[in-house]
Amino acid sequence: MNFEAIKSIYLAEMARTRRTIMQSIISPVISTVLYFVVFGAAIGSRITEVDGVSYGAFIVPGLIMLSLMTQSLSNASFGIYFPKFTGTIFEVLSAPVSFLEITIAYVGAAATKSVLVGLIILITANFFVPLEIQHPVWMAAFFVLTAVTFALLGFIIGIWADNFEKLQFVPLLIVTPLAFLGGSFYSINMLPEFWQKVTLINPVVYLISGFRWSFYGQADVSLWLSLLATMIFLGGSLAIIHRIFKTGYRLKP
């Protein structure tokens, strides 16, 4: 293992975060606080509680999940797309660095950033509503697994995209709608019965449900189903990345 190379790429990516702190840390926090104010304070005053939890507290896990997913995606996809776009990727590809090491470094850095953003949101939320975390170990597990899984997905998108439009396509047109419709701001039990069933084909439902369970001990679907869904996501992303590296897709003609 070329640990020095992993460290170099990881630190260079983190340095990029520091240079762009407005865009990478502050702006997701601000937009989450806005969600929080609009949904929690304005709408929440009309919905007193969901399954025994105040609405303001209820949406916190969903909000964190939403930003974990979108941040991991955009960090990782941009992180690998940008060197491809400028051409500097040649340096990494011609160095004695394996594809596994490249993935660990880029995905690790992207996941670290989104975990940081998620933690900041968690701390911020703590000022607005009383939070309780009933199962901290599960909470940490879902937190990290989601960050890593979506960073892997973002990495795939970054390799696949050959223009900026494609880079934005998946996050904006697929993941964001799935996250909003996956119960970030509501319990799927609040939906009509038909839509409850339809919602179950949305994989994000399982992630949010499991994460919310680790906070308040109540979930839309069973915990094990949530864990299974997360693992399928993770496994699927790893399989695609393995395939990409095997064939040199978009990286090595």
Partner 1 sequence: MAPILSVRDLEKTYDGGFQALKSVSLDIREGEVFALLGPNGAGKTTLISTICGLVRPTSGSIDVGGFDALKDFRAARQLIGLVPQEMPTAPFEMVADTVAFSRGLFGLKPDPALVESILKDLSLWDKRDNAIMSLSGGMKRRLLVAKALAHEPRLLFLDEPTAGVDVELRHDMWRIVGNLKERGVTIILTTHYIEEAEEMADRVGVINGGEIILVEDKAELMRKLGRKLLTLNLSEPLSALPASLAQYDLTLASDGTSLVYTYDTHAERTGITSLLTDLSSAGVRFQDLQTDQSSLEDIFVDLVKSG
Residues in contact with partner 1 by CB under 8 A are: 2-5, 7-9, 12, 15-16, 19, 82-83, 86-97, 248, 252-253
Q: How many CB atoms lie within 10 A of CB 178?
A: 16
Q: Among residues 82 and 160, whose Cβ is nearest to partner 1?
A: 82
Angle between helices 99-128 and 3-19 (to 10 degrees): 40
Q: Reduced to 3 states, what is the DSSP secondary structure of residue 136? A: helix
Q: Among residues 89 and 133, whose Cβ is nearest to partner 1?
A: 89
**CB of residue 149 vs partner 1: minimum separation in angstroms?**
27
**CB of residue 52 vs partner 1: minimum separation in angstroms?**
49
Q: What is the DSSP string of 221-248?
A: S-HHHHHHHHHHHHHHHHHHHHHHHHHT
Q: Among residues 20 and 45, whose Cβ is nearest to partner 1?
A: 20
Backbone φ and ψ for 54, nearest 5 degrees, come out as -60, 145
Q: Among residues 56 and 83, whose Cβ is nearest to partner 1?
A: 83
**CB of residue 49 vs partner 1: minimum separation in angstroms?**
47
**CB of residue 253 vs partner 1: minimum separation in angstroms?**
6
54 bridge partner residues: 49
